[in-house]
């Protein structure tokens, strides 16, 4: 807990995320960033991360709420996190009715309309949250500097007649200086792990925003009222931030959570040059890279990236159909993807992780099969590449995908709980505009994708029961998965039972 003048207490909660969240447990940056300004104003903040509590969150939360607690804040993604967040919000309201419940994070950002349908939630904040949260807190303590609700960016609230008001989110990026990120609120850094590694991972921004407009992505909607769509963090700030987390917290890996780090190759080159000059040795990972950018990277550039410690790069490929790539606005072709993958295969120090989406509106079964064929080709040409479990489309309001899906009769969830059950990572998630046959094929691909490459064997040391089980499964099942995948055999999917059981096991047995 960080305490200064004690203006009152705030408990910030990071709820569980879906299946990926149990393998990639990142520092809860949403709650850390959102708390950065209220701490400076003198509020005391505690963090409860339900992904890492060993007992029940109810007991832990009850121990954290004090007489001076004013607010419980939750950082909520669309999907599974909503279910737990609603339970927590109701628990708080039932036990401590005077404590205000505030939701922030991706779900209130993209779909604020449904959040206040839940009576246990008092406020929601859409978009960048540190400054609006500060304004809300000032308002709740009746400070003289407080702005009225109508003037707080991104705030949603209920008036005395129960009418919901929704303000537009802020129209600029929120840059938080690294020394203002309250890392000391983290109880135990060992709780945060990426898959089965020993790395001490620090997620970090090097840029804000994205100049591209991929039709499935929520970012263009998030930045819709921000004029300049992409801005770099100053080079010195990034390098100082890296030095700081390395020296103070023993960071061994910096994972850039940017939407797109490589819009300007010189920016990344500048970071690694400076790290080299300052003799800072640390591993690096990039979450945002595009094929049309990697085309411009020379082998020397990739060598330089690898030599600076880069071992991870996430690339959105999305489809094996040129028609769909165009529809998704990926500015690339299948032929270019194959070439880029061959280039990346010459740099095996950098493990590349490929993302795909299947079941897009207008996608034919034939086109899904083209994606399947592309995946097989990529794995064959580059044996160290890893294919991320398939993404199925989940149209979020404000995206082009949403408009397209609506034109196919899609209505989307109408309630908060509906959004909670709308979990793209669950095995029974069906794309509603596709035929049963097409959905079945996608389900087969989804289940086999875990095993058709070497990702589980490559990334897991198999130290815990969970990873030992996965490694054995991966070794035994790979030939069957590859056969199914290659020949499109979607009959008798007994794997489905294992996946659902495993999903349930992981969700019910955290940490
Ligand atoms: C890390 C990450 C994850 C982690 C988990 C994140 C977590 N919170 O634990 C993992 C790997 C598990 C994950 C999984 C998925 N993710 Co993800 N992920 C991210 C990523 C890269 C970084 C999140 C982050 O830390 N951001 C930094 C913080 C500072 O930003 P922030 O959370 O937005 O917080 C700010 C505001 O939202 C607000 N705020 C946040 N919390 C709170 C709380 C209060 C009380 C207040 C007042 C304000 C507030 O203030 C903060 C400062 O301004 C983002 C992209 C991005 N760059 O943000 C995508 C992103 C959040 N993920 C996304 C998606 C789609 C997914 C997946 C479906 C997989 C996929 N296809 O990408 C899965 C599903 C997970 C699920 N539903 O359970 C979408 C969000 C969609 C949505 N509506 O939920 C994003 C935005 C990427 C994108 N553009 O598509 N993800």
**Can you give the pLDDT at residue 510?**
52
| Contact between residue 3 and residue 184 where contact means Cβ atoms under 8 Å apart | no
Look at residue 247 in the predicted model and tell me its pLDDT. 97
- The C-alpha atoms of residue 263 and residue 209 are separated, in whole angstroms, by 11
Cβ neighbors of 479 (< 8 A, separation 6 or more) are none
Instruction: For ligand 1, pick from 105, 107, 194 the residue to mutate: most ligand atoms within 8 Å of CB.
Output: 105
**The pLDDT of residue 200:** 95
Q: What is the number of the ligand 1 atom nearest to the C-alpha of 107?
A: 83
Q: Which fold has domain 193-393?
A: pyruvate-formate lyase- activating enzyme (3.80.30)
pLDDT at residue 103 in the model:
98
Phi-psi domain of 428 (left: phi exceeds 0; alpha: psi -120 through 50; beta: other): alpha
Please tell me the predicted confidence (pLDDT) of residue 13. Answer: 98
Task: Check if the beta carbon of residue 189 is closer than 8 Å to that of residue 174.
Answer: no
Assess whether the C-beta atom of 216 lies below 6 angstroms from ligand 1. Answer: no
Dihedral over alpha carbons 291, 296, 301, 305 (to 10 degrees): -30
Residue 127 Cα to ligand 1 middle (Å): 11
Q: pLDDT digits over 46-90, tens only?
A: 999 999 997 889 999 999 999 999 999 999 999 989 999 999 999
pLDDT at residue 330 in the model: 97
Give the side-chain half-sphere CA count within 13 A for 196.
Answer: 17
Confirm or reject CATH 3.40.50.280 for domain 9-166, answering yes or no. yes
Q: Exposed e or buried b for every residue in 282-312, given b needs 16+ CB within 10 A?
A: bbbbbbbbbbebbeebeeebbebbbebbbeb
Per-residue pLDDT of the chain (511 residues; tens, 9 = 90+): 554 568 899 999 999 987 788 788 999 999 999 999 999 999 999 999 999 997 889 999 999 999 999 999 999 999 989 999 999 999 999 999 999 999 999 999 999 989 999 999 999 999 999 999 999 999 999 888 899 999 999 999 999 999 999 999 999 999 999 999 999 999 999 999 887 788 999 999 999 999 999 999 999 999 998 999 999 999 999 999 999 999 999 999 999 999 999 999 999 999 999 999 999 999 999 999 999 999 999 999 999 999 999 999 999 999 999 999 999 999 999 999 999 999 999 999 999 999 999 999 999 999 999 999 999 999 999 999 999 888 888 899 889 999 999 998 898 898 999 999 887 777 667 888 899 999 989 988 988 888 888 787 777 777 777 778 778 888 888 888 888 889 988 877 667 777 777 667 666 655 4
Ligand 1 contact, 33 CB (< 6 A): yes
Atom of ligand 1 nearest to the CA of 174: 53
Neighbours of 441 (CB within 10 A): 21
Residue 1 is predicted with a pLDDT of 54
Give the pLDDT confidence score for residue 118 in this predicted structure: 95
In the three-class reduction of DSSP (H, G, I as helix; E, B as strand; rest coil), residue 258 is classed as coil
Q: What is the pLDDT of residue 511?
A: 47
Enter the DSSP assignment of 262.
-
Cα–Cα distance, 33 to 453 (Å, whole number): 36
Exposure of 7 in the CB half-sphere (CA atoms within 13 A):
19
16 within 8 A of 50, measured Cβ to Cβ: yes
Distance between CA atoms of residues 433 and 370, nearest Å = 19
Ligand 1 nearest atom to the CA of residue 80, by list position: 78
Given a contact cutoff of 8 angstroms between Cβ atoms, the answer to whether 317 and 354 are in contact is yes
């Amino acid at each position: 807990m960080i305490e200064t003048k004690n203006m009152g207490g705030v408990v910030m909660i990071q709820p569980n995320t879906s299946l990926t969240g149990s393998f990639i447990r990142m520092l809860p940056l949403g709650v850390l960033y959102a708390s950065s300004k209220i701490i400076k104003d003198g509020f005391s903040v505690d963090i409860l991360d339900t992904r890492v509590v060993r007992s029940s969150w109810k007991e832990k939360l009850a121990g954290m709420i004090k007489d001076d607690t004013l607010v419980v804040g939750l950082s909520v993604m669309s999907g599974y996190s909503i279910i737990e967040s609603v339970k927590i919000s109701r628990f708080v309201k039932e036990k401590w009715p005077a404590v205000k419940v505030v939701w922030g994070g991706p779900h209130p950002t993209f779909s604020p309309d449904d959040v206040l349908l839940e009576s246990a939630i008092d406020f929601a904040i859409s978009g960048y949250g540190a400054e609006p949260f500060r304004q809300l807190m000032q308002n709740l303590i009746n400070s003289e500097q407080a702005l009225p609700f109508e003037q707080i960016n991104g705030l949603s609230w209920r008036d005395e007649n129960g009418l919901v008001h929704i303000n537009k989110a802020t129209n600029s990026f929120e840059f938080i200086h690294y020394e203002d990120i309250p890392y000391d609120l983290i109880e135990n850094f060992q709780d945060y792990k990426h898959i089965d590694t020993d790395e001490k991972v620090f997620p970090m921004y090097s840029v804000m925003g994205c100049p591209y407009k991929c039709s499935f992505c929520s970012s263009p909607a998030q930045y819709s009222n921000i004029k300049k769509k992409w801005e770099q963090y100053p080079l010195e700030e990034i390098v100082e931030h890296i030095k700081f987390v390395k020296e103070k917290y023993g960071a061994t890996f910096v994972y850039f959570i940017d939407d797109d780090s490589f819009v300007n190759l010189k920016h990344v080159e500048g970071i690694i040059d400076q790290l080299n000059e300052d003799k800072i040795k640390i591993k690096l990972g990039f979450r945002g890279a595009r094929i049309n950018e990697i085309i411009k990277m020379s082998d020397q550039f990739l060598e330089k990236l690898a030599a600076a410690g880069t071992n991870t790069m996430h690339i959105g490929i999305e489809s094996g159909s040129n028609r769909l790539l165009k529809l998704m606005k990926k500015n690339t072709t299948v032929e270019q993807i194959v070439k880029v993958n061959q280039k990346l295969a010459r740099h095996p120090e950098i493990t590349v992780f490929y993302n795909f989406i299947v079941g897009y509106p207008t996608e034919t079964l034939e086109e899904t099969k083209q994606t399947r064929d592309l995946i097989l080709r990529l794995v064959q040409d580059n044996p160290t590449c890893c294919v991320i479990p398939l993404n199925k489309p989940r149209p979020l309001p404000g995206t082009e995908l949403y408009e397209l899906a609506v034109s196919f009769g899609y209505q989307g969830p109408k309630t908060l709980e509906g959004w909670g059950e709308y979990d793209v990572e669950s095995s029974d998630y069906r794309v509603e505009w596709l035929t049963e046959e097409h959905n079945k094929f996608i389900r087969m691909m989804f289940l086999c994708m875990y095993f058709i490459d070497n990702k589980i064997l490559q990334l897991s040391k198999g130290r815990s029961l969970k990873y030992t089980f996965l490694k054995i499964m991966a070794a035994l099942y790979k030939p069957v998965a590859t056969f199914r995948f290659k020949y499109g055999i979607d009959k008798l999917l007994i794997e489905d039972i294992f996946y659902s059981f495993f999903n349930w096991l992981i969700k019910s047995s955290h940490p």
